[in-house]
Amino acid sequence: MSYGANIRDGWREAGAYVGRILKAAKPAARWLPRLVLRAQLQSMTETRLITGRTPKPLLKKLNPIWWFQNDDEEQTAPWYKPEWPQWRRDFYWNFLRNPLQNFRCYVVGMQDRNYSVWGRAPVITVQRNDLSPPELGWQWCVLAVGPWRLPFVSYSGRRVVWYLGWQPSGFFGAKFNLHRA
């Protein structure tokens, strides 16, 4: 046997040995990053139970006229355009300023249901720039309502603020605002 053959055989054996080590390590390589990620997420997240809610009647939810109303604020806010006649204030409040409020709260929203919400702490926050002191970045949560999992994500940046999905309150909404620098 020549010297070169011994080196080749040695490299083959070393390669086979390293291959066996890597093969044995693959399962750990699969679960270890997940475990680390899960630990990081658990320290950054929280869960809240939302209870004590009363369901709205199904007949109301099926009425398209009711969708445009605002059951949570049955009267137009006193501070909203007090110089206007009441009929105009009501029209603007219900149909232009807060369109489809009941629809977003109760028909597609979950504000009349009990549920749990899990997400980035503090989980009840809609936008990071609402915190004190204000922050920039992502906020997310998932509402667990029976078998459904309803997502919410928002981003607050220097130039843009947006959100989409079911807010921690159960309200369904979408927003996209641009800001000047």
Give the pLDDT confidence of 106-145 residue by residue, as tens digits.
Answer: 999 999 999 999 999 999 999 999 999 999 999 999 999 9
The more confidently predicted of residues 167 and 15 is: 167
For residues 33 and 125, what is the distance between their CA atoms, to the nearest angstrom?
Answer: 28
The domain in which residue 75 lies consists of: 51-107
Give how far the C-alpha of residue 138 lies from the chain's centroid of Cα atoms, to the nearest Å.
9
**In this predicted structure, what is the pLDDT of residue 31?**
55
- 17, two tokens: 């040995």
On whether residue 166 sits in a domain, the answer given is: no
**Which positions ≥6 away from 120 have C-beta within 8 Å?**
44, 45, 138, 139, 140, 141
On whether residue 92 sits in a domain, the answer given is: yes
Query: Is residue 116 a contact partner of residue 144, using CB atoms and an 8 Å limit?
Result: yes
On whether residue 176 sits in a domain, the answer given is: no
On whether residue 81 sits in a domain, the answer given is: yes
Query: 154-166: b or e for each residue (b if 16 or more CB lie within 10 Å)?
Result: bbbeeeebebebb
Lowest mean pLDDT among 7-21, 57-71, 90-104: 7-21
Total domain count, the chain:
1
On whether residue 130 sits in a domain, the answer given is: no
On whether residue 86 sits in a domain, the answer given is: yes
DSSP bridge pairs for 50: 115
Query: Is residue 126 a contact partner of residue 143, using CB atoms and an 8 Å limit?
Result: no
On whether residue 170 sits in a domain, the answer given is: no
* pLDDT category of residue 42 using cuts at 50, 70 and 90: low
On whether residue 67 sits in a domain, the answer given is: yes
Dihedral over alpha carbons 147, 111, 163, 129 (to 10 degrees): -120
Radius of gyration of the chain (CA): 27
The yes-or-no verdict on residue 17 having pLDDT over 70 is no
**In this predicted structure, what is the pLDDT of residue 7?**
47
Q: What's the mean per-residue pLDDT of the chain?
A: 82
CA atoms 123, 126, 130, 134: torsion sign = positive
